[in-house]
Amino acid sequence: MSLLEVNELHSYYGDSHILFGVSLRVEQNEVVALLGRNGAGKSTTLKSVMGVVKPRAGSVRLEGLELAGMKSHAIARAGVQLVHEERRIFGSLTVEENLVLAGFTASPRWSLARIYDIFPRLLERRGSRGTDLSGGEQQMLALGRALIRAPKIILLDEPFEGLAPLIVRELVSVCRRLAAEGQTLIVVEQNLAATMALAQRVYILNNGHLAHEGPADDLRANPEILHRYLGV
């Protein structure tokens, strides 16, 4: 049994059919990338797993527990964390208050010291309000809030969007460290180089349909697949 098993997922926005029978699996301690053009259904897949979008058909199982139909907060308690593209930190709270609040209902949870060890910049900025952080610092905080809940799997939606190359490299390094320490990740990202530096396996979506699945090494060796579905 895989850590996460998604089978024949169908999701809609109103009457618009977005996902057409999407299936994927993620193993324990694996980094999986979900690629595709804009509008392919990548973010909708993550939101459907998290319960932000309620699937109309299909199954989402975490260690055998059916998540489809559950509320987002219950899915979070089960061990899934979604880091939204918009980050959604509390701008009026300090860095440390954001972290403490995120971990308040989590058991087990990571210590603040562990978060600060991974993100030394957050330790330096722990008394700063969320609105005073740079985009890179906000992304670090968003990821730190997810980690403090000791999740079984983290869903990263466009984590490198709009960030300077130096910050992207730093965040890729953090994600590599997390993966080496056993954290399971699904990454949706337009920055192909950064994503391929992290991923062990890749799924490609095309117009809401699963178009390709395989090891990341296969895509590195066969770039024509990326060109066919991503135009790169």
For 9-62, write each residue's pLDDT tens digit: 999 999 999 999 999 999 999 999 999 999 999 999 999 999 999 999 999 999
Distance, in Å, from the CA atom of 69 to the CA atom of 57, rounded to the nearest integer, reads 10
51: left (phi over 0), alpha (psi -120 to 50) or beta: left
Query: In the structure, what pLDDT confidence band is assigned to residue 232 with cuts at 50, 70 and 90?
Result: low
The CATH number of domain 4-79+152-230, selected from 3.30.413.10, 3.40.50.1580, 3.20.20.70, 3.40.50.300: 3.40.50.300
Q: β-pairing, 184-188 with 31-35?
A: parallel
Q: What is the pLDDT of residue 227?
A: 84
For 141-190, write each residue's pLDDT tens digit: 999 999 999 999 999 999 999 999 999 999 999 999 999 999 999 999 98
pLDDT above 70 coverage of the chain, percent: 100
The full set of domain ranges for the chain reads: 4-79+152-230, 88-151
Residues 58-79 have a mean pLDDT of: 96
For 108-131, write each residue's pLDDT tens digit: 999 999 999 999 999 999 999 999
The CA-CA-CA angle for residues 82, 188, 153, to 5°, reads 40
